[in-house]
Structure 1
Amino acid sequence: MDQELNSSYHHLFLAVILLLPLLAVKLRRRDHGKNLPPGPWQLPVIGILHHLVGALPHRAMCDLARRHGPLMLLRVGELPVVVASSPGAAREVMRAHDAAFATRPRTAIIRELTRDGLGVAFAPHGEHWRQLRRLCVTELLSARRVRSLRRGREAEAANLVASVAAAAAASKPVNVSALLATYVTDAAVRAVVGGRISHRDAFLERLEEGVKVAAGFSLADVFPSSRLARALSGAARRAQTHHRAMTRLMDGVIAEHQERRAAGAGNDEEDLLDVLLRIQKDGGLQIPLDMGTIRAVIIDLFSAGSETTATTLQWAMAELMRHPAALGKAQTEVRRVLAGQDRVPEDALPEMRYLQLVIKETLRLHAAVPLLLPRECQEETRGVLGYDVPRGAMVLVNAWAIGRDAASWGADAEEFRPERFEDGGARAEADFRGADFEFVPFGAGRRICPGIALGLAVMELGLAGILFHFDWELPGGAAPEELDMTEGLGITARRKSDLWLQATVRVPVPKV
């Protein structure tokens, strides 16, 4: 995946260069009389694409922002892209002018992926989105609903611990990345459909493909006025193929769930699909809740929850391995809280304060979606840090750059130090739930991620389990500073390489 995605900018750049004589695009300038944000120098037709080749976008845009300011205008082909890279700029986008920037761009790839129905993540701002957002907040992802799904999370956390123990029994390194990804995905599946599903591996492969597709590039988006670009847009065709395959799998998942419920199988608790089907039957929304919309909402829950949560957990373990003192402190706390117990009950998590700080610091340094999901300017908007943002511009918030801003976080902003959030510390009050624009890994405003509570519960339970039961070392006696911390390219900032560690059982693992 990483190799494929890392070449995306190169491939797009090469394709544009080869097509220049045929595209004959005339970039129309409508900037007269506008005070547009500054930006780097650009080339004819391709704009600033050459600044992005060979670099991770959030890092390249962070470097550009240091030279051109916290609010930049980048032209990618015909597409204007405004990037906010400071807390002040983020506040302008997600609070002061939130309504103007509350919609999502309908790119060629997104149109294909949502052909039969729109969920919450990519829905344009409007009544459809408002109704689904309300459904998520009050029914699907409310604190009460998250608590009701606790038993499923605890069961999957026990499976994770058992899997690590089985791998450790062979005295060989454990692929922590793979096991954490499986745990998070299985926890999401159990929350949504109440149990495991048939064709699980095919379903997980399709979710993985969806991440690749959504991270791709389309010539039709960069050059919307060119018929040739639309005709040659292989990314859009790939999205269409993925959508058809995902629809077939989702129909199978829903049918399997309904058959299981009809047969009286499973527990008595409502899972998230039960909620959607109940509301569909009762007509509890002001918009049609057809099967296409239900599929789209479920895919949002699977894809967003699984990918971002697994990414954060992998970075948390990697940072702990790079910082043995923090690892020891976290393990000491977990084992003190759970003294005399043989597993991690979710109701013990609030006592694990330092564990929560580890996750908080990981979210600061490694925002799972470093550029957040793109927004679109619905109308010409004036007075954004003193600049004008043109209608139709894509708007990106660089959460990765904001989380590492030395002006906000001090000279040690690049260092992993959970203690910065301790009571009495300089940043003890910093919050990631949308109130503090120096810390926006989940976004803010109307488009803030509605699944924060569920994601945190899965993260805390999984991390507590593997710290409680196992001692961890780098394979081959490697020094902490030798651990590769390179990021991969994609919608989420995954580790480029899997995290392999040596695990030793410290607290006996009960049978599952």
Structure 2
Amino acid sequence: MELSMDSSFLWLLLSLLLSVIFLLSKSFTKAISSRDHQLPPGPKPRPIVGNLFELGDKPHRSLARLADVYGPIMTLRLGQVDTVVISSPDMAREVLQKHDAVFANRSIAEAIRVLSYTDASLIWLPPSHRWRNLRKICNTQLFTPQRLDAHQSPRREKVDELMQFISDSASKGLPVEIGRVAFTTSLNLLSRTIFSVDLADLYEESSQKFKHVVQGILEEAGKPNLSDYFPLLPWIDPQGIRRRSRGYFKQLHDVFDEQITRRIRSYNLDETKVVGNDFLDELLHYRVQEDGSKFDRHAMKSLFTDIFVAGSDTTSATVEWAMAELLRSPAAMAKVREEIVRVMGLGRDVNEDNIEALPYLQAVVKETLRLHPPAPLVPRRTTGATVELSGGYEIPNGTRVLINVWAIGRHEGAWKDAGIFSPERFLTTEVDYKGRDFELIPFGAGRRFCPGQPLAFRMVHLMLASLLQRFEWRLPEGMEAKDVDLEEKFGLTVVMASPLRAVAVPVSHDERVGATCII
């Protein structure tokens, strides 16, 4: 959660605002303190700003340290807003399973309240008829095994293009920027499924522009925004966050507008024509139905925003983090490559159907998601009732809640040597990330479990397995394993602050021909 200005300037801004909000904040604080609720403990708030400055530029880590002092459920006063933070598997289970209905709403950052996006977003809508309809369409028309199987071939084609690009880079002696090529491939894997076209080219800078837009949205939404913490300020937008965010959303929506318009024109303006080859066709089909499930252009653009922002950046970040951890752990790198070669050989490409036969590869991905969950802080909000949790704590209706997924994945009570990358731990446990085991919830849990998890599973494993099967990987000259920089850059998602660069060494022709495949 990077500050958009240094602390001194922020304090100056707050001082200027003080004369406007002091009386109101005083009365607001008095009203809050008079509530007859036993909130969980937490650090003592400062006047006006509360605990805002205790978040730092990596709030998932700051909140984890505070949880060590105040416990797995604590209350922070962020500006004028009470926020309850959940930091253990047991508390996450209580919130996301036992009281899932009450905690099912999201708290929404002001940065994304632009272009009416949240009014039609599967991610941000509250549970409702419209939300259930969106989820049903995604689950039945996009993420079913049958639909995913039907699009295996174009996804394999995009991965083959990635392999060719890396081979070309290797032939020129150029290191590969893992995050960039993984993002471009993830983007095209999605765009082929949604639009049947590529939105970027590995050999051009178009993917960088799209990545800049997606990461711009995530970064603006992850910044500490005064408008989120002081109820009087959203209409002022004092830091310009909503203005910049609106520009990023507009660029994204322009891309989607172009695709929708092109498809409608391909029907010769006959919007009842259904091709059924991709997700856009399915939505255009729903658009003309008279069963209450219509999709206008705005609803489509909001849903596409959900899919591309949530899918492209998180998938590529997971691949990049996995490669970084493997490059830091040569033994794990050798073990996963040995498994892939032993099971698949080198003469046959890995396909999505082969993933289940690669348990150590799956363990590498689980361990990466444990240590580096793409969305480290998951926002919720209580709705409809006051909830009593363990310890006698009461969470009032309307309270903002943060699930610290990052802290849960590193919880010492749930994981031995929690800070160490060790895929072997998942070879002897049934813990999975499908929302049932609260020690590992990178895709969430309960009714808001990420519907895109089946596609993410395929994309991450397919890319990672192909990278490891076709190439040996080395660090650039002069670097050692310990030199791989795992510093984070925080937004709604956490990415590597320093892009990972590695040198690919293609497996020789003799090795490929001589390899044995056992499935």
Letter aligned with residue 19 of structure 2: P
- Structure 2 equivalent of residue 188 of structure 1: 190
- Structure 2 equivalent of residue 49 of structure 1: 52
Letter aligned with residue 299 of structure 2: T
1:150 and 2:156 correspond: no
Which has the higher mean CA deviation after the structures are superposed, 72-81 or 500-509?
500-509
Letter aligned with residue 47 of structure 1: G
- Structure 2 equivalent of residue 502 of structure 1: 503
Question: 1: distance between equivalents of 2:6 and 2:187?
Answer: 29
Question: 1: distance between equivalents of 2:54 and 2:224?
Answer: 16
Letter aligned with residue 274 of structure 1: D
8 Å Cα contact 1:206/1:246 also seen in 2: yes
> Are residues 240 and 278 of structure 1, via their aligned partners in 2, closer, same or farther at CA, if it must alter by over 3 Å?
same
Equivalences for residues 72-151 of structure 1 within 5 A: 72-115=74-117, 117-151=119-153
8 Å Cα contact 2:4/2:223 also seen in 1: no
* Unaligned segments of structure 1, at least 5 residues: none
- Structure 1 equivalent of residue 229 of structure 2: 222
Post-superposition Cα deviations, 1:16-52, rounded to whole Å, max 9, x if no partner, equal: 3443234323233334421111111110110001212
Q: Secondary structure at the match of 1:433?
A: coil
Post-superposition Cα deviations, 1:300-334, rounded to whole Å, max 9, x if no partner, equal: 11110111111111100001011111100111111
Question: 2: distance between equivalents of 1:490 and 1:474?
Answer: 27
Which has the higher mean CA deviation after the structures are superposed, 253-262 or 235-244?
253-262
Post-superposition Cα deviations, 1:269-294, rounded to whole Å, max 9, x if no partner, equal: 6211121111222345x344211111
1:343 and 2:349 correspond: yes
- Structure 2 equivalent of residue 322 of structure 1: 328
> Are residues 115 and 182 of structure 1, via their aligned partners in 2, closer, same or farther at CA, if it must alter by over 3 Å?
closer
- Structure 2 equivalent of residue 37 of structure 1: 40
8 Å Cα contact 2:118/2:125 also seen in 1: no
Q: Secondary structure at the match of 1:491?
A: coil
8 Å Cα contact 1:105/1:124 also seen in 2: no
TM-score, normalization by structure 1: 0.90
Question: 1: distance between equivalents of 2:194 and 2:508?
Answer: 31
- Structure 1 equivalent of residue 433 of structure 2: 432
Question: 2: distance between equivalents of 1:204 and 1:478?
Answer: 27
Question: 2: distance between equivalents of 1:376 and 1:39?
Answer: 18
> Are residues 14 and 397 of structure 1, via their aligned partners in 2, closer, same or farther at CA, if it must alter by over 3 Å?
farther
Aligned length: 494
Letter aligned with residue 45 of structure 1: I
TM-score, normalization by structure 2: 0.89
- Structure 2 equivalent of residue 211 of structure 1: 218
8 Å Cα contact 1:42/1:75 also seen in 2: yes
Post-superposition Cα deviations, 1:438-490, rounded to whole Å, max 9, x if no partner, equal: 11111100111110010010001100111011111111142212211111111
Post-superposition Cα deviations, 1:98-136, rounded to whole Å, max 9, x if no partner, equal: 111111224432321534851201112222111111222
Post-superposition Cα deviations, 1:236-261, rounded to whole Å, max 9, x if no partner, equal: 22233333333333211212334456
- Structure 2 equivalent of residue 15 of structure 1: 13
- Structure 1 equivalent of residue 515 of structure 2: none
In the TM superposition, residue 209 of structure 1 has moved relative to its aligned partner by: 2.5
- Structure 1 equivalent of residue 398 of structure 2: 392
In the TM superposition, residue 230 of structure 1 has moved relative to its aligned partner by: 3.0
In the TM superposition, residue 181 of structure 1 has moved relative to its aligned partner by: 1.4
Letter aligned with residue 349 of structure 2: R
Q: Secondary structure at the match of 2:75?
A: strand
- Structure 1 equivalent of residue 277 of structure 2: 270
> Are residues 457 and 283 of structure 1, via their aligned partners in 2, closer, same or farther at CA, if it must alter by over 3 Å?
farther
> Are residues 46 and 380 of structure 1, via their aligned partners in 2, closer, same or farther at CA, if it must alter by over 3 Å?
farther
Q: Secondary structure at the match of 1:437?
A: coil
Q: Secondary structure at the match of 1:250?
A: helix
* Unaligned segments of structure 2, at least 5 residues: 270-274, 513-519
Letter aligned with residue 282 of structure 2: V
- RMSD over aligned CA atoms reads 2.4
- Structure 1 equivalent of residue 517 of structure 2: none
Alignment match of 1:357 (pick from 350, 358, 363): 363
> Are residues 247 and 457 of structure 1, via their aligned partners in 2, closer, same or farther at CA, if it must alter by over 3 Å?
same
1:409 and 2:415 correspond: yes
Letter aligned with residue 336 of structure 2: A
Question: 2: distance between equivalents of 1:127 and 1:9?
Answer: 44
